[in-house]
């Protein structure tokens, strides 16, 4: 289904109050939209804040290993330097720079879906799996809310919460994205306001626990917003938290710096249930390719950013959000990490 026809069809189903699932790639070139009654669990499994079509199947217990082989810091640095230069000359204030990381695990994509703990989970035709903590937008009671997530730190670091909340770079990055999301929501909503600014949540992973910083921004919609649900999503995409500001020029910078196709990574997926909408950003993303499994991750770059810190954040975000008594073989340092 072509891009424009997908969003038009969303409007039609929204007007009828007919539930549907949507999966929209970063470039909005291959969007998927299906009436919820037509979603086949043999092809697509989803779990959205606990609302799921996944059969109650538990993977067999087994020792789990997970290894990651990130690009060398020397390979990351030219990408970072290009982005930093673009910021310094005024072409952007914030750029979300991402890279693919080869990984190895004895889990299938479907097993990762079942074992992962996350707000938003998606397994799609055994092509990719998502286990995202980040809300894109939620619409309830004629109010639209977005929860941009910017700022990550190892929870084991002493005084980690105070460090992340007082970090100048992280503070600047977060305020920039909050301003961007406020502006985005103002395109489709009235009375846009920040309800919560920079609150901290913990994410549990197979390797370490992380603290992540989010904000809550809300606006008011017309009572018949369901009739324009496709238009609302189209006008808000791509998500500001995984692109940057200003959005159009920053997307050009991203393409030149990254030199790979994000595909569905950093797109959005979610469900309209006939009355309300809930969707997440497709971060924490593993894709099956001819070369093996790729885990795509990244972070926001600002004028305050330092290459080594940003590189470490990219690597730290390559994880499985699995907590169990099973034995993990954690990824070891390798020549790829030098």
Q: Pick from 258, 273, 213, 267: which is nearest to 238 by CA?
A: 267
- pLDDT score, position 119: 92
**Exposed / middle / buried, residue 319 (Cβ in 10 Å: 0-12, 13-18, 19+):** buried
Indicate whether 49 belongs to any domain: yes
Indicate whether 66 belongs to any domain: yes
**Model confidence pLDDT, tens digit, residues 242-254:** 998 889 999 999 9
DSSP 29-70: SS-EEEEGGG--TTTEEEEETTEE---S--PPP--EEEEE-P
Contacts of 129 (CB under 8 A, 6+ apart): 109, 110, 112, 113, 116, 121, 122, 123, 285, 286
Indicate whether 106 belongs to any domain: yes
DSSP state of 304: T
- pLDDT score, position 205: 66
Indicate whether 176 belongs to any domain: no
Indicate whether 156 belongs to any domain: no
As for how many domains the chain has, the answer is 1
- pLDDT score, position 77: 98
Residue numbers of the domain that contains 10: 3-142+226-332
DSSP 214-262: EEEEEEE--TTGGGGHHHHHHHHPSPGGGSEESHHHHHHHHHHHH-S--
Distances (CA, A) of 42 to 54, 55, 126, 164: 9, 10, 10, 42
pLDDT averages per 10-residue partition of the chain, 338 residues: 83 98 96 97 96 84 89 98 97 95 96 93 98 95 90 81 81 84 95 91 71 90 97 94 90 97 97 97 97 95 92 93 53 28
Indicate whether 289 belongs to any domain: yes
d(C-alpha 253, C-alpha 185), whole Å: 23
d(C-alpha 146, C-alpha 286), whole Å: 24
Q: How many CA atoms, within 13 angstroms, populate the side-chain half-sphere of residue 242?
A: 28
Indicate whether 153 belongs to any domain: no
- pLDDT score, position 206: 62
d(C-alpha 240, C-alpha 218), whole Å: 15
Q: How many CA atoms, within 13 angstroms, populate the side-chain half-sphere of residue 9?
A: 15
CATH number at residue 285: 3.60.120.10
Specify which residues 234 forms β-bridges with. none
Indicate whether 266 belongs to any domain: yes
- pLDDT score, position 323: 61
């Amino acid at each position: 289904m072509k891009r424009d026809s997908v969003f038009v069809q969303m409007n039609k189903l929204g007007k009828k109050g007919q539930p549907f699932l949507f999966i929209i790639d970063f470039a909005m070139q291959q969007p998927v939209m299906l009436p919820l009654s037509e979603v086949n669990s043999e092809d697509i499994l989803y779990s959205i804040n606990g609302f799921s079509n996944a059969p109650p199947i538990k993977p067999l217990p087994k020792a789990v290993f997970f290894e990651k082989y990130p690009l060398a810091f020397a390979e990351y640095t030219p990408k970072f330097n290009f982005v930093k230069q673009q910021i310094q000359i005024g072409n952007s204030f914030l750029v979300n720079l991402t890279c693919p990381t080869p990984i190895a695990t004895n889990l299938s994509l479907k097993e990762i879906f079942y074992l992962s703990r996350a707000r938003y989970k998606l397994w799609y035709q055994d092509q990719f799996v998502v286990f995202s903590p980040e809300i894109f937008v939620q619409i309830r009671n004629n109010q639209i809310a977005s929860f941009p997530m910017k700022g990550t730190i190892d929870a084991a670091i002493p005084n980690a919460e105070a460090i992340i909340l007082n970090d100048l770079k992280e503070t600047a990055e977060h305020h920039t994205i909050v301003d961007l999301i406020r502006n985005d929501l103002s395109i489709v909503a009235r009375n846009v306001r920040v309800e919560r600014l920079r609150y901290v949540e913990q994410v549990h992973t197979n390797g370490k626990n992380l603290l992540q910083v989010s904000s809550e921004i809300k606006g008011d919609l017309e009572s018949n917003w369901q009739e324009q649900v496709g238009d609302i999503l189209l006008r808000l995409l791509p998500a500001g938290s995984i692109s940057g500001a200003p959005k159009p020029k920053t997307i050009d910078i991203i393409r030149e710096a990254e030199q790979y196709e994000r595909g569905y990574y950093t797109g959005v997926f979610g469900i309209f249930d006939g009355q309300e909408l809930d969707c997440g950003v497709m971060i924490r993303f593993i894709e099956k390719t001819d070369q093996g499994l790729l885990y795509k991750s990244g972070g926001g770059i600002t004028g305050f950013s330092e290459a080594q810190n940003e590189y470490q954040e990219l690597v730290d975000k390559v994880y499985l959000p699995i907590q169990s008594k099973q034995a993990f073989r954690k990824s070891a340092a390798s020549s790829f990490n030098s």
